[in-house]
Amino acid sequence: MAEANLIDRINRAVQTLSYKDPVFGLYFTLLKLTEREEGISTLATDCDKLYFNPKYISELTDDELRAVLSHEVMHCLSLTAGDVMNRLQDFIDRGDDRYPDTKKVSKMARSTIANWASDYQINSIIQQTIDHLPKGVLVSNEMNNKSLETILKEVLDSIEFIKSPRPILKPPKF
């Protein structure tokens, strides 16, 4: 269970973000803060709950914490994950020959690809506004001001499928 001071720290970060952008603050009040170490190494959201790994949160600076919290809310506000999943599915359904390997991957892997594209777009925005993203996040200046569909295509063009009995994906770096 997360320590009370960790929850207080998250709440202070949310309060600071709320002063800067009340829409973010309002949306945070709708999310149920849920500690989860298993299966979540950082943060995640289903737009009902905000899942967080307490170890990851405790290692972030206050600025980084505000950035990752903003990132998760932006997923909800823009609904990008679902939008990108739909576009990715369109590529697959059309039998787009440029992305034949996507037919080999599971729905879960497709969701991962969609999330990578969303992350690049969202982190590009955050980098330009908050500018304190933690190390290791998917961000590239090459993604600034690009549409979600353009980013998705660039991610698909750059994905490396690791050869194994079951294809494994690793995120592209730009």
Domain ranges of the chain: 4-61, 79-170
Q: Amino acid letter at 69?
A: L
Reduce the DSSP state of residue 38 to 3 states and report it.
coil
Reduce the DSSP state of residue 99 to 3 states and report it.
coil
In this model, does residue 128 exceed pLDDT 70?
A: yes
Reduce the DSSP state of residue 10 to 3 states and report it.
helix
Per this entry, what is the length of the chain?
174
Per residue in 14-27, pLDDT (tens digit) is 999 888 888 888 88
pTM of the model: 0.79
Per residue in 48-80, pLDDT (tens digit) is 899 999 999 999 999 999 999 999 998 888 765
- 68-81 core/surface letters (b: 16 or more CB in 10 A; e: else): bbbbbbbbbeeebb
Give me the residues paired with residue 169 across strands: 161
Reduce the DSSP state of residue 117 to 3 states and report it.
helix
Separation of alpha carbons 99 and 91, rounded Å: 8
Q: Angle at CA 142, nearest 5°, toward 63 and 28?
A: 35
